[in-house]
Amino acid sequence: MEKETISRIGGAMKERDLVFVDTETTGLDANLHEVIEIAFVRVKQEWISGEKTKFTILNEWSAKMKPEHIETADPKAFLVNGYTPSEWADSISAEDAFKQFSEKTDGAIMVAHNVAFDSGFIDKYFNKFGIKNKMHYCRLDTISMAYVCLGNNQEINGYSLPELCSYFEIPNEGAHSALPDARMDFELFKKLIEFK
């Protein structure tokens, strides 16, 4: 790829909103398990030469979805994400949730902690329902960013979102619920891009 093309991609990325996305699922296998909650924090980014990057939250959104195949769920997943039928009583269909998600994330760059996991599930649902993925094709991964920034740091034992939030003293409120996790990932991202 030529330098000019790479430069244009980098510039275009800085001009787009970021969406910090998190999913809660019934297990780890996107081919077998389901998304039961999805959320994002949409953020405007302003990169000004010689100044600290400014981020402004534009929108927050979340939706719970009732699992269609509870029989395939890993019980350990429910211990993590707190699923109970009563807590999900007001959930919407997965198709409605992903239609909303597609519209609300239009043009933004997806950011997630282990982006391959979340995007694997999201892509599955877009394909299942024939919904267009309107996000920018670039995706950012805060776990990879953390590895690059902190790989030589002996205080870091792992790269989970709770461990990294603890290291950076980011409040860990409502972990393993989609919207609080998306908010924490946004705070982590800000720490990592300023990390020296």
pLDDT confidence tier of residue 101, bands split at 50, 70 and 90: very high
Greatest alpha-carbon span in the chain: 55
Alpha helices in 22-93 (DSSP H): 75-81
Q: What CATH architecture applies to the domain 3-142?
A: 2-Layer Sandwich (3.30)
Question: For residue 41, which of 190, 191, 194 has the smallest C-alpha distance?
Answer: 190
Q: Give the pLDDT mean for 86-92.
A: 93
Report if pTM > 0.95. Answer: no
Residues 34-64: pLDDT tens digits?
Answer: 999 999 999 999 988 878 899 999 999 999 9
Instruction: State the CB neighbour count (10 A cutoff) for residue 125.
Output: 23
Q: Read off the pLDDT band of 3 (50, 70, 90).
A: very low
* Per-residue pLDDT band at 12 (split at 50, 70, 90): confident
Domain boundaries, the chain: 3-142
**Mean pLDDT within 166-171:** 93
Mean pLDDT (the chain, rounded): 91
Instruction: Name beta bridge partners: 45.
Output: 55
Burial of 120 (0-12, 13-18, 19+ CB in 10 A): middle
CB contact set of 25 (below 8 Å; sequence gap of 6+): 33, 34, 35, 36, 77, 81, 121
Percent of the chain with pLDDT over 90: 76
Report the C-alpha gap between 36 and 130 in whole angstroms: 19
Q: Please tell me what DSSP assigns to residue 108.
A: P
